[in-house]
Amino acid sequence: MEIELNGLKETIPENISIDALIDLFKEGDPDLIVEINCKYIFPKNYKTTTIMENDTIEFINPNLGG
Amino acid sequence: MVESDKQKITRNRRYARQVILPQIGSEGQKILGKTSVLIAGAGGLGSISSLYLAAAGVGHIIIADHDHVEESNLNRQLLHSEVSLGIEKTKSAAIRLTELNSSIKITPLQTKMTRQNIDSIAKKVDIFVDATDNYNTRQILNRASLKYNIPFVFGGVQGFDGLVSCFVPGRTPCFECVIPCPKKENNSLGIIGAAAGIAASIQAMETIKLILNIGTGEDRLENRLLRISGLDMKIKSIKLEPDPECTACSDVDP
Ligand SMILES: [Zn+2]
């Protein structure tokens, strides 16, 4: 199925979780923030949140500098 | 203290371009003048938020930092200049902010913010403006924000990017609901000065809106995380909600 990840169209397997998506795209930041369709997802829910067709997803590396 | 006509005329002249805004007016300007703000850090973020808040006439700015000005600060920390190299950042900040607005009170606090000293700082201010560069100090500010019911205007920057949100006890998630303790250390991050400028300008704007209660929670950055992505120049608003299991705020309400 198709999704948009960080502004790019991507084709991914159906019914995968955020955790699996993070693995699939080899995103290595352990502190990653994920938003789906402009909604923040709690990291503890990455395992149980399933990606749906046409979701717009952004991986955000938290900026904590000042 | 009763305000004299002269004080009022001076104020309305200096701040004329914002007093004419219906959202501010003479009354709002007076409220700004009675407000105390903590700028927690005199670095890239604190440089810009403190300049805008001083210029806007916020009556008392406490600016806290424990560092001295270094050459590598000057690409973004616009409070400081070549003549301030080596001196205490808060002293340099106080000099610059007083040059900009001598009618407000500036308190330099050359110290590291800790669990021990945050209580006495919190008791003196109405709002926290985050300008720190690390998670631990933000956590200290967040806990004090919850304890003393003080809005916490979060900002964080790195590279070309920034994050901003207003965490208001009782109305929004807290900082720790959204940004859990990092698993990896991030020291000496690369940063383009303008990224800090954008994020800190937004923080200054939101601080004024919070002080004067301008707009609704949705108009302000409450329950939203603003993500500024400088490389592709996109700004996105991400909807937030409190974490019912947050160890910092979940049992705040009786
Ligand atoms: Zn919380």
Give the CATH number, domain containing residue B169. Answer: 3.40.50.720
B185 CA from centroid of ligand 1 (Å): 22
- B160-219 residue pLDDT tens: 999 999 999 999 999 999 998 888 876 668 999 999 999 999 999 999 999 999 999 889
Q: How confident is the model at residue B8 (pLDDT cuts 50, 70, 90)?
A: confident
Q: Do A38 and B158 touch (CB under 8 A)?
A: no
Q: Do A29 and B184 touch (CB under 8 A)?
A: yes
**pLDDT of residue B253 exceeding 60:** no
Residue B250 lies in a domain: no
Residue A54 lies in a domain: no
Which three-class secondary structure state does DSSP give residue B163? strand
Q: Is B155 on the interface with A (CB under 8 A)?
A: yes
Query: How many residue pairs from chains A and B have C-beta atoms closer than 8 A?
Result: 78
Residue A4 lies in a domain: yes
Q: Is B243 on the interface with A (CB under 8 A)?
A: yes
Residue B103 lies in a domain: yes
Q: What is the ipTM of this complex?
A: 0.95
Residues near ligand 1 ion, CB 5 Å cutoff: B 174, 176-177, 246, 248-249
**pLDDT of residue B90 exceeding 50:** yes
Distance in Å, alpha carbon of B30 to nearest chain A alpha carbon: 30
**pLDDT of residue B2 exceeding 90:** no
Residue A26 lies in a domain: yes
Residue B247 lies in a domain: no
Count: domains in chain A: 1
- Rounded to the nearest integer, the mean pLDDT of chain A is 96
Residue A53 lies in a domain: no
Domain limits at B97? Answer: 9-239
> What's this model's pTM, rounded to 2 decimal places?
0.96
Q: Which of B24, B20, B27, B23 is nearest to B3 (CA)?
A: B27
Q: Is B246 on the interface with A (CB under 8 A)?
A: no
Average pLDDT of span B26-50: 98
Residue A44 lies in a domain: no
Instruction: Please state, as a whole number, how many other Cβ atoms lie within 10 Å of the Cβ of residue B125.
Output: 21
Q: How confident is the model at residue B4 (pLDDT cuts 50, 70, 90)?
A: confident
Q: Do A66 and B178 touch (CB under 8 A)?
A: no
Domain limits at A13? Answer: 1-34
Q: Could you give the CA distance from residue A51 to residue B153 in angstroms, rounded to a whole number?
A: 32
Residue A40 lies in a domain: no
Residue B252 lies in a domain: no
Burial bucket for residue B226 (CB in 10 Å: 0-12, 13-18, 19+): buried
Strands A8-11 and B234-239: unpaired
The set of residues, in sequence order, having a beta carbon less than 8 Å from that of B211 and lying 6+ positions away, is B31, B32, B35, B58, B126, B127
Q: Which of B45, B43, B46 is nearest to B163 (CA)?
A: B45
Count: domains in chain B: 1
Q: Do A40 and B196 touch (CB under 8 A)?
A: no
**pLDDT of residue B101 exceeding 90:** yes
Q: Do B157 and A39 touch (CB under 8 A)?
A: no
Given B43, B157, B232, which is nearest A63 (Cβ)?
Answer: B157
Residue B207 lies in a domain: yes
pLDDT recorded at residue B11: 81
pLDDT recorded at residue B252: 46
Strands B60-65 and B36-40: parallel
Q: Which residue has the tokens 């699939």?
A: A24
Q: Do A64 and B179 touch (CB under 8 A)?
A: yes
User: In B111-207, where do the E strands start and end?
Assistant: 127-130, 152-158, 161-167
Residue B245 lies in a domain: no
Residue A15 lies in a domain: yes
- A28-41 residue pLDDT tens: 999 999 999 999 99
Burial bucket for residue B228 (CB in 10 Å: 0-12, 13-18, 19+): buried
**pLDDT of residue B254 exceeding 60:** no
Given B158, B225, B237, which is nearest A65 (Cβ)?
Answer: B158
Q: Could you give the CA distance from residue B126 to residue A60 in angstroms, rounded to a whole number?
A: 31
